[in-house]
Structure 1
Amino acid sequence: MFSVTSGQLEAWMVAFLWPFVRMLALVSTAPVFGEPWVPRQVKVGIAAMLALVLSPTLGAFPAVPVVSAGGLWIVIQQVLIGVAMGFSMRLIFTAVLAAGEYIGLQMGLSFASFFDPMSHGSTMVVSRLLNMLAMLIFLALDGHLLMVNALADSFRTLPISGGPLAAGGWMFLVLAGGDIFASGLMLALPLITALLTLNLAMGILNRASPQFSIFAVGFPLTLLAGIFMLQLLMPNLAAFLEPRFAEAIANMLRFTQGLRP
Structure 2
Amino acid sequence: MLFGADQLMQWVHHYSWPFVRVSALLMAAPVFGASSFPVRGRILLAVLVTTLLVPLLPSVPAVDPLSPLGLIMLAQQALIGLAMGFLLQMLFAAVVIAGQSLAVTMGLGFAMSVDPQNGVQVPVLSQFYVILATLIFLAVDGHLTLLGLVAESFETFPVGSPVWDFQFAIRLVAWASQMFLLALMMALPALTALLLINLAFGVITRAAPQLNIFAVGFPVTILAGFVFILLSLPAVSDLLNDMFAQGFARISLLTP
TM-score clears 0.5? yes
One-letter code aligned to 2:17: W
Equivalent residue letter for 1:36: S
Q: Deviation per CA, 1:105-127, whole angstroms, max 9, x where unpaired? A: 11011111124476564311110
Alignment partners' CA distance in 2, 1:95 and 1:86:
15
Provide, for residues 215-248 of structure 1, a one-character-per-residue CA deviation record: whole Å limited to 9, x for no partner: 2110000000001111112222221111110110
Question: Is the 8 Å Cα contact of residues 31 and 90 (structure 1) preserved in structure 2?
Answer: yes
**Conservation of the 8 A alpha-carbon contact between 1:101 and 1:127:** yes
Aligned to 1:174: 173
Deviation at 1:17, TM superposition (A): 1.0
**Sequence identity, in percent?**
40
State whether residues 34 and 119 of structure 2, in contact with CA within 8 Å, keep that contact through their aligned partners in structure 1. Answer: no
The answer on whether the counterparts of 1:157 and 1:253 sit within 8 Å (CA) in structure 2 is: no
8 Å Cα contact 1:116-1:123 kept in structure 2 = yes
Q: Which moved more, 1:45-54 or 1:118-127?
A: 118-127
Q: What SS is found at the alignment partner of 1:193?
A: helix
Q: What are the Cα deviations for residues 117-144 of structure 1, in whole angstroms up to 9, with x where unaligned? A: 7656431111011001000011011111
Find the counterpart in structure 2 of residue 91 from structure 1. 90
Contact 1:191 1:226 in 2 (8 A): yes
Query: Judging changes above 3 Å, is the alpha-carbon distance between structure 1 residues 110 and 233 closer, same or farther for their aligned structure 2 residues?
Result: same
Which residue is equivalent to 1:202?
Answer: 201
Shift of 1:170: 2.2
AA paired with 2:181? A
TM-aligned CA deviation for residue 195 of structure 1: 0.3
Q: Secondary structure at the match of 1:114?
A: strand
* One-letter amino acid matched to 2:74: V
Q: Residue 235 of structure 1 corresponds to which residue in structure 2? A: 234
With the length of structure 1 as denominator, give the TM-score of the two structures: 0.94
One-letter amino acid matched to 1:207: R
Alignment of 1:106-255 (within 5 A): 106-116=105-115, 119=118, 121-161=120-160, 163-255=162-254
Number of the residue aligned with 2:103: 104
Distance in 1 (alpha carbons) for counterparts of 2:83 and 2:143 = 16
Gaps of 5+ in 1: none
Cα distance per residue 1:184-215 (max 9 Å; x no partner): 01111111110010010111111112232222
Contact (CA 8 Å) 1:64, 1:71: kept in 2 or not? yes
Change (3 A) 1:175 1:35: same
Q: State how far apart, in whole Å, the 1-side matches of 2:237 and 2:118 are.
A: 24
- Residues 29 and 83 in structure 1, CA contact (< 8 A), matched pair in contact too: yes
Q: Are positions 1:62 and 2:64 aligned together?
A: no
- Cα distance change, pair 255–162 in 1 and its aligned pair in 2 (3 A): closer
**Partner secondary structure for residue 177 of structure 1:** helix
State whether residues 170 and 255 of structure 1, in contact with CA within 8 Å, keep that contact through their aligned partners in structure 2: no
Kept in 1, the 8 Å contact 2:36–2:117? The answer is no
**Would you say the 8 A contact 2:111–2:123 is kept in 1?**
yes
When the two chains are superposed, the root-mean-square deviation of aligned CA atoms in Å is 1.5
3-state SS in 2 of match to 1:178: helix
What TM-score, normalized by structure 2, do the two folds share?
0.95
Give yes or no for contact 1:62–1:162 (8 Å, CA) kept in 2. no
Q: Distance in 1 between matches of 2:245 and 2:26?
A: 18
Q: Secondary structure at the match of 2:255?
A: helix
Q: Which consecutive residues of structure 2, in runs of 5 or more, have no partner in the other structure?
A: none
Q: d(CA) in 1 for partners of 2:237 and 2:219?
A: 29
Whether contact under 8 Å (1:73, 1:162) holds in the other structure is no
Q: Which amino acid aligns with 2:55?
A: P
Preserved CA contact (<8 Å) 2:87 2:251 = yes
The DSSP-based 3-state class of the residue aligned with 1:24 is helix
